[in-house]
C-alpha cells in the first residue's frame, strides 16, 4: 500500500524537505568556508545534507511515478491511447529506477508489442528492443553513418540467403565478366550469417530520471544511436580487426579487388569503371573528405569545383567519413547487417558520478554478400627515374 494517498500529500512532503535540504546545504557550505571550523563538524554537516538530499530524491522519484500512473489512468479512462514513445519512456524510467517493469500499464505493453499479458518475455525488454532497434535507433544513427541508408539491414535468426542466381550463356561472357562467376564457384550460393555480441552502453544522469518520459526516451536513444554508429563503423572500416571480425571489414576482405591509379581521381574512376555491369549503375563510393578536398585542388586548381556535386566530377556519388582511409566503390545493397536474435537490456548505476548505465545487447553479423560488387581505390606512386650512377651500376 502506498504511503502517500495523493500527489498533494507527497508535494507537501517534498516542499518541507526542500527547505531542510537548502538549510543543510547552506550550513555545510558555511562551515567548509570557515577556516577556523573543525573538519569533523564539516563532515557531519555534509553527511546530514547528503542524507536529506537522498530522501528528497526518493520522494521526487515517487512523485514522478504517481504522476505517470495518474496520467495513464486518466488516458485509459477517457479512451485515449498512449504513444509508442511514451510507452518506451515509461519502460526506461521504470527499468532505470530499479522498478518492476511487469507492473507497467497494459496499454504500455500493447504499444511495445509485449503481449500476451502473461508471456514470459513481458517486462524484460526482449520484445521492446527489436522494434526500436530497427525502426528508431539504427535507422537514424548519430553521428552520421554514410552507409546506413544504402546497406541492407535485417533482424532474422539463423539467416541464410542466396548470393545471386544467374546463368553464363557462353565462354565469352564468362571471360568478360568473370569475377562474379568465379566467386560463386569459390564461396557457394548461400551466405550464412553468424552471431557476434553487440553491446551498446548509454550513460544517463540521475537528473534525467526526474524529467518527462519523452526526455528519458530521447536521452537514452541518442546515446545508443551514437554507440551503434561507432560500433558499425569500427567493424566496416577496421584496418586491423580480430580474426573473428575480419570478414566485416571493407579493407580486410581479401576478395575485394584493388584498382590502382596514379592519383586519387584516376584510382576512383578506374575502380568504378572496373565494376561489372550489374553493379556499376547502382554503385556509389565512400572516402575521407580530406582526400576529396585534395582531389579537387589537384584538378587544375579550379575552385569552382568545390560547389559541384561529387558525381558531376567523378561520375559516381560519394559519401564521406574520416574512417574511410581508402576509397571504396560498390553497390552497397550487397553489404548486409543482420541481427540474429531479439536484443535485451541490462542496467547498472555509478553512485559516485550520479549516472545510470543502460546496456543494449544483441547478436549481429555483417556480411559482404558479393566481393565482386566492390572495388578499393589505391593510389600508386610512380617509380622514381634512375640516376645515371644507378644506370651505370646496373650495366656493370
Looking at the structure, do residues 203 and 348 belong to the same domain, yes or no? yes
pLDDT at position 130: 35
* 204 within a domain of the structure (yes/no): yes
Diameter of the chain measured on Cα atoms? 104
Give 190 or 139, the one with higher predicted confidence. Answer: 190
pLDDT at position 202: 77
* Boundary of a domain, candidates 23, 56, 80: 80
Residue 379, pLDDT > 70, answer: yes
* 370 within a domain of the structure (yes/no): yes
Cell of 220: 537514452
Looking at the structure, do residues 180 and 307 belong to the same domain, yes or no? yes
- Give the contacts of 160 (CB within 8 A, at least 6 positions apart): 190, 191, 192, 193
User: Do 265 and 295 form a contact (C-beta atoms < 8 A)?
Assistant: yes
- Range with the largest mean pLDDT of 46-60, 197-211, 215-229, 346-360: 46-60
For the segment 340-353, the average pLDDT, to the nearest whole number, is 75
Residue 292, pLDDT > 80, answer: yes
* 117 within a domain of the structure (yes/no): no
Looking at the structure, do residues 315 and 200 belong to the same domain, yes or no? yes
pLDDT at position 44: 87
Torsion region of 141: left, alpha or beta (phi above 0 gives left; psi -120 to 50 gives alpha): beta
* Boundary of a domain, candidates 62, 80, 98: 80
Looking at the structure, do residues 199 and 75 belong to the same domain, yes or no? no
Residue 78, pLDDT > 50, answer: yes
| Sign of the Cα pseudo-torsion (309, 314, 315, 317, in order) | negative
Residue 121, pLDDT > 70, answer: no
Cell of 232: 558499425
The residue range of the domain holding 260 is: 152-379
Residue 143, pLDDT > 90, answer: no
Q: Kindly indicate the confidence band of residue 208, based on its pLDDT and cuts at 50, 70 and 90.
A: low
pLDDT at position 101: 64
Looking at the structure, do residues 75 and 156 belong to the same domain, yes or no? no
Give 98 or 122, the one with higher predicted confidence. Answer: 98
User: Do 82 and 107 form a contact (C-beta atoms < 8 A)?
Assistant: yes
In the chain, the number of structural domains is: 2
* 174 within a domain of the structure (yes/no): yes
What is the rounded CA–CA span in Å between residue 237 and residue 253? Answer: 11
pLDDT at position 67: 74
Q: Kindly indicate the confidence band of residue 211, based on its pLDDT and cuts at 50, 70 and 90.
A: low
Looking at the structure, do residues 204 and 330 belong to the same domain, yes or no? yes
Give 89 or 331, the one with higher predicted confidence. Answer: 331
Pairing of strands 335-339, 152-154: parallel
In this predicted model, what pLDDT tens digit does every residue of 17-45 receive, in sequence order?
Answer: 888 888 888 888 888 888 788 888 888 88
Distance of CA 314 to the CA centre of its chain: 30
Looking at the structure, do residues 354 and 243 belong to the same domain, yes or no? yes
Looking at the structure, do residues 156 and 266 belong to the same domain, yes or no? yes
For the segment 219-227, the average pLDDT, to the nearest whole number, is 74
* 88 within a domain of the structure (yes/no): no
Cell of 150: 544504402
Residue 281, pLDDT > 80, answer: yes
What is the rounded CA–CA span in Å between residue 205 and residue 92? Answer: 13
Residue 118, pLDDT > 60, answer: no
Q: Kindly indicate the confidence band of residue 207, based on its pLDDT and cuts at 50, 70 and 90.
A: low
* Boundary of a domain, candidates 53, 80, 107: 80
DSSP state string for 139-170: TS-SS--TTTTTSEEE--TT-EEE-------S
Whether pTM > 0.75 for this model: the answer is no
* 135 within a domain of the structure (yes/no): no
What is the rounded CA–CA span in Å between residue 330 and residue 375? Answer: 6
Looking at the structure, do residues 169 and 67 belong to the same domain, yes or no? no
* 97 within a domain of the structure (yes/no): no
For the segment 208-213, the average pLDDT, to the nearest whole number, is 58
Give 175 or 195, the one with higher predicted confidence. Answer: 195
* 27 within a domain of the structure (yes/no): yes
**pLDDT, averaged across the chain:** 75
| Closest CA relative to residue 306, chosen from 282, 289, 319, 328 | 289
Pairing of strands 284-287, 257-261: unpaired
Residue 175, pLDDT > 50, answer: no
What is the 8-class DSSP label of residue 211?
S
pLDDT at position 72: 64
Residue 79, pLDDT > 70, answer: no
Looking at the structure, do residues 66 and 157 belong to the same domain, yes or no? no
Amino acid at each position: 500500500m502506498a504511503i502517500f494517498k495523493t500527489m498533494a500529500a507527497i508535494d507537501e512532503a517534498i516542499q518541507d524537505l526542500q527547505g531542510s535540504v537548502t538549510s543543510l546545504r547552506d550550513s555545510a557550505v558555511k562551515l567548509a568556508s570557515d577556516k577556523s571550523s573543525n573538519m569533523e563538524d564539516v563532515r557531519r554537516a555534509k553527511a546530514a545534507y547528503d542524507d536529506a538530499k537522498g530522501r528528497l530524491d526518493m520522494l521526487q522519484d515517487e512523485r514522478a511515478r504517481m504522476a505517470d500512473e495518474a496520467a495513464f489512468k486518466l488516458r485509459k479512462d477517457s479512451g485515449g491511447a498512449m504513444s509508442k514513445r511514451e510507452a518506451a519512456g515509461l519502460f526506461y524510467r521504470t527499468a532505470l529506477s530499479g522498478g518492476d517493469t511487469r507492473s507497467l500499464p497494459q496499454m504500455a505493453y500493447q504499444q511495445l508489442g509485449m503481449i500476451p499479458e502473461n508471456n514470459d518475455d513481458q517486462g524484460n525488454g526482449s520484445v521492446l528492443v527489436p522494434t526500436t532497434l530497427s525502426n528508431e535507433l539504427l535507422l537514424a544513427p548519430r553521428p552520421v553513418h554514410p552507409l546506413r541508408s544504402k546497406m541492407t539491414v535485417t533482424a532474422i535468426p539463423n539467416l541464410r540467403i542466396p548470393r545471386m542466381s544467374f546463368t553464363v550463356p557462353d565462354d565469352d561472357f564468362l571471360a568478360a565478366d568473370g569475377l562474379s562467376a568465379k566467386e560463386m564457384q569459390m564461396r557457394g550460393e548461400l551466405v550464412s550469417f553468424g552471431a557476434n555480441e553487440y553491446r551498446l552502453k548509454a550513460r544517463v544522469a540521475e537528473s534525467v530520471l526526474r524529467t518527462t518520459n519523452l526526455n528519458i526516451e530521447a536521452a537514452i536513444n541518442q546515446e545508443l544511436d551514437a554507440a551503434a554508429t561507432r560500433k558499425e563503423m569500427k567493424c566496416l572500416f577496421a584496418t586491423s580487426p580480430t580474426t573473428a571480425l575480419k570478414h566485416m571489414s571493407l579493407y580486410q576482405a581479401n576478395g575485394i579487388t584493388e584498382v590502382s591509379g596514379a592519383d586519387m581521381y584516376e584510382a576512383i574512376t578506374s575502380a568504378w569503371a572496373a565494376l561489372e555491369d550489374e553493379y556499376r549503375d547502382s554503385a556509389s563510393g565512400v572516402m575521407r573528405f580530406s582526400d576529396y578536398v585534395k582531389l579537387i585542388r589537384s584538378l587544375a586548381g579550379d575552385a569552382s569545383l568545390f560547389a559541384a556535386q561529387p558525381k558531376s566530377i567523378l561520375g559516381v556519388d560519394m559519401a564521406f567519413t574520416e574512417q574511410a582511409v581508402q576509397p571504396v566503390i560498390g553497390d552497397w545493397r550487397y553489404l548486409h547487417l543482420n541481427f540474429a536474435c531479439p536484443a535485451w537490456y541490462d542496467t547498472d548505476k555509478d553512485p559516485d558520478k550520479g549516472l545510470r548505465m543502460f546496456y543494449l545487447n544483441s547478436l549481429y553479423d555483417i556480411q559482404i554478400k558479393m566481393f565482386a560488387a566492390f572495388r578499393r581505390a589505391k593510389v600508386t606512386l610512380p617509380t622514381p627515374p634512375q640516376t645515371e650512377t644507378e644506370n651505370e651500376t646496373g650495366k656493370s
